[in-house]
Structure 1
Amino acid sequence: MTTKAFSGRLAAWALSAFALSACSQQQGGAAEGDKGAAAGSKGAGDKGAAGDKGGKAGVAKIALLLPESKTARYESKDRPFFEAKVKALCPDCQVLASNANQDASQQQAQAEAALTNGASVLVLDAVDSASAAVIANKAKAQKVPVIAYDRLVPGTDAIDYYVSFDNEAVGRLQGESLLKALNNRPTARVVMINGAATDNNGLTFKKGAHSALDGKVQVVKEYDTPDWSPDKAQDQMTQALTALNNQVDGVYAANDGTAGGAIAAMKAAGIKPLPPVTGQDAELAAVQRILVGEQYMTVYKAIKPQAEAAAVIAYHLATGKPVPTDLTGGKTVNNGTKDVPSVLLVPLAVTKENLKDTVIADAFWTQEQICTAQYAEACKSAGL
């Protein structure tokens, strides 16, 4: 399904939600009287609604637990898109948003605080898998549903929904794009800068990338990047260049932050021209690097439909309404313990050639944001 089609379906669900609204300005009125509005709502009360926990009766609280801020998307895209959708569906609902800054113990504390404050549902983008399972289990013990957002949480039956992209496909896209840039040359020397080994997504991206690259290039050095840190990725790339005497034909970088670190290391080493480098998230800095030829590609994941899908599910769970079955289309992802109903969006590979038709066409970034004075000439050359 295209992201635009998915957005259209979300708009239809939004209209339907308003027609059914238990969370509008009139919530708690006669229409909800027979559903126990004073206690939140029938289903929400069963799942630990705010009214049952001493919060304002009838006001659903939704916790959004984000993992870190080194990757720009979470605070600039995911959070505002999610909050705006919840507000559109339910003006009186409260979003309890927090960011763990890549600290698993901090995320656990934030989750506990959200539960104490009466959260009716947790939308959890995990810092790491082990601590996330603990969070989910605590929520389940309090009858609070959990939506795994962006990153699947393995090893627990306490996950109710999963909203993300096909993450193995993301890694495969990156690997296939790198092969294309290298003209499928089997002697090409590739350094792999993977994501964090503690992040289930990082492992899945790596699996997808290896499925594309193995046996088709020479992977001469490979690293997992703690905390997805661009600084650590830069250090790893510096180590690789030293060991390889700067003889590198391509770099698999798992996201745009690690790509930026790898590129900084190669520029510091005086490598010209830079070899093709992959990325992910379509960060503004990465898009600009693509324009000037420093980064070959990124993976564009349309975050708005992802955040809005999570908001639609959270709204229904928090207000005790059945989640629309066509939202997941019957898809599930097994997390090692259960088959989790899942919304899986389609990622897109973005290079200079299709930049205008993807991130700009979707207004993910505007031409004005991209084409600052420093990049004006590159934009002109690219037809922007």
Structure 2
Amino acid sequence: MKKRVVIFLSMLMAVGLLAGCGGGSTAGVTQAPGEQKTAETEVKDTTEQEKEAAPLNAVSKGDMIGVSLTSRSAERWLRDGNTLNEDLTAAGYQVDLQYADSKPEMQVQQIENMILKGCKVLIVAPVDNSALSSVLATAKENGIVVINYDLGIVGSSDIDYFVGFDNSKVGTMQAEAIIEKLGLDKGEEGPFYIELVAGSLAEANCYMYFEGAMEAFKPYMDAGKLVVKSGQTSIEQCTVVDWKLELLTARLDNLLTTYYSDGTLLDAVLSPSDYLSGPIATRLESFGYGSADMPMPVITGNDATESVCKMIATDEVYMSVFKDTRLLSGACLDIINALAEGREPEVTDVYTPDVYEIPTIFVPMESITKENLKEVVVDSGIFTEEQIFGTK
């Protein structure tokens, strides 16, 4: 039986409004250096064309695969890009790997260039989940297979497959780690003090993480056992706009000086991503946390990056959600190889980011703490023991 992951329509409307970006227009297709190709000669008009499912034999060994990822500044995406590049190349495909530096307009231009280069498949993790509808329609009308990679895209009927983690569960896993570490599930009364951090609202995943965590926290917050001392409990109050670390630092400074200068200790910080949890831990240490008198709060993460795994080993970050991105690359390759061989790809799930149902491959993920860190990320070959437990 197929599983179905649904994001409520009202949530998606909020994504569009808060991201401030529409998916309805893109720049003209960028001309590759030294070539005379134009949008008129190379790209079909998609205005009134019906969308079709990905055809079998749409790709062959030796064809170009375009990989468009969000940013090279995040350790996680560098690891994904390297794995995809290695796996696709080893399987006999050419690869055009591009990072968009967290700029939606740059990602659109890069995808347009991939279309002009003749890519047969696009693997896309969006910077802005609502900014790609036009360029993906262009890709589809040119017979290109589109695989949405891990970060959900909304507003497009031109996505053939989704490959990713069931991100609706990430926030729940993070909240449960905090609840268990504080002993709330075993009857501890608290009150324990927590502050909440959310990622960029341009990503639908951030809504899923936050909603999942808040649902798990609700009974303890309602009972007064878990308290947000700042009162900042809406995702709009907790977002780190565009993942800008200077905004995260400014908010942490304000929280600590305004609400915790009376001697109240912060017990936990909900962080949606390792990209934020490492800087959160470092900033808290600058305020004296991590000492005998001021223990480190329970800080969550997501993606199990090398830098944060080191901080888990040294008790600076409590947990992260381990996502073996090798499995994502393998799932993408399974889809591409099946199409190249004229077979229907084996998909068992359905992802519904808005009104469009997308055939999906979900791969498993795991919560990691210091207790199982070595087993999960070292023994599995992701990192070496020296990388994680050696010199920080």
Instruction: Flag whether TM exceeds 0.5 (same fold).
Output: yes
Residue matched to 2:258: 243
Alpha-carbon shift at residue 45 of structure 1 (Å): 9.6
Q: Distance in 1 between matches of 2:164 and 2:111?
A: 20
On the 8 A contact 1:175/1:209 being kept in 2, the answer is yes
Q: For 1:76-100, what per-residue CA distance to the aligned partner results, in whole angstroms no more than 9, with x for missing partners?
A: x2122212222232x2x21110000
More helix by share: 1
More displaced stretch, 174-183 vs 129-138:
129-138
Alpha-carbon shift at residue 168 of structure 1 (Å): 1.3
Residue matched to 1:145: 145
Q: For 1:280-316, what per-residue CA distance to the aligned partner results, in whole angstroms no more than 9, with x for missing partners?
A: 1111111111111111111101110111211222344
TM-score (norm 2): 0.76
Alpha-carbon shift at residue 339 of structure 1 (Å): 1.3
- Where does structure 2 lack aligned partners over 5 or more consecutive residues? 1-53, 221-225
Q: Secondary structure of the equivalent of 2:83? A: helix
Residue matched to 1:154: 154
Residue matched to 2:376: 358
Q: Which amino acid aligns with 2:192?
A: A
TM-score (norm 1): 0.78
Residue number among 71, 76, 82 corresponding to 1:73 in the alignment: 76
- Where does structure 1 lack aligned partners over 5 or more consecutive residues? 1-42, 51-57, 375-384
Residue number among 88, 91, 96 corresponding to 2:90 in the alignment: 88
Residue matched to 2:367: 349
Residue matched to 1:322: 343
Identity of aligned residues (%): 25
Q: Which amino acid aligns with 1:87?
A: T
Q: For 1:255-278, what per-residue CA distance to the aligned partner results, in whole angstroms no more than 9, with x for missing partners?
A: 111112222221222232211100
Residue matched to 2:306: 284
Residue matched to 1:200: 204
Aligned residues: 317
The reply to whether residue 307 of structure 1 matches residue 340 of structure 2 is: no
Residue number among 232, 240, 243 corresponding to 1:221 in the alignment: 232
1:40-59, aligned counterparts within 5 Å?
A: 59=62
Q: Distance in 2 between matches of 1:160 and 1:242?
A: 49
Aligned pair in 2 of structure 1 residues 138, 73: CA closer, same or farther (>3 Å)?
same
1:91-130, aligned counterparts within 5 Å?
A: 91=92, 93-130=93-130
Residue matched to 1:53: none
Q: Secondary structure of the equivalent of 2:134? A: helix
Q: Distance in 1 between matches of 2:158 and 2:55?
A: 17
Q: Distance in 2 between matches of 1:269 and 1:70?
A: 26
- Indicate the RMSD between aligned Cα atoms, in angstroms: 2.1
Alpha-carbon shift at residue 320 of structure 1 (Å): 6.5
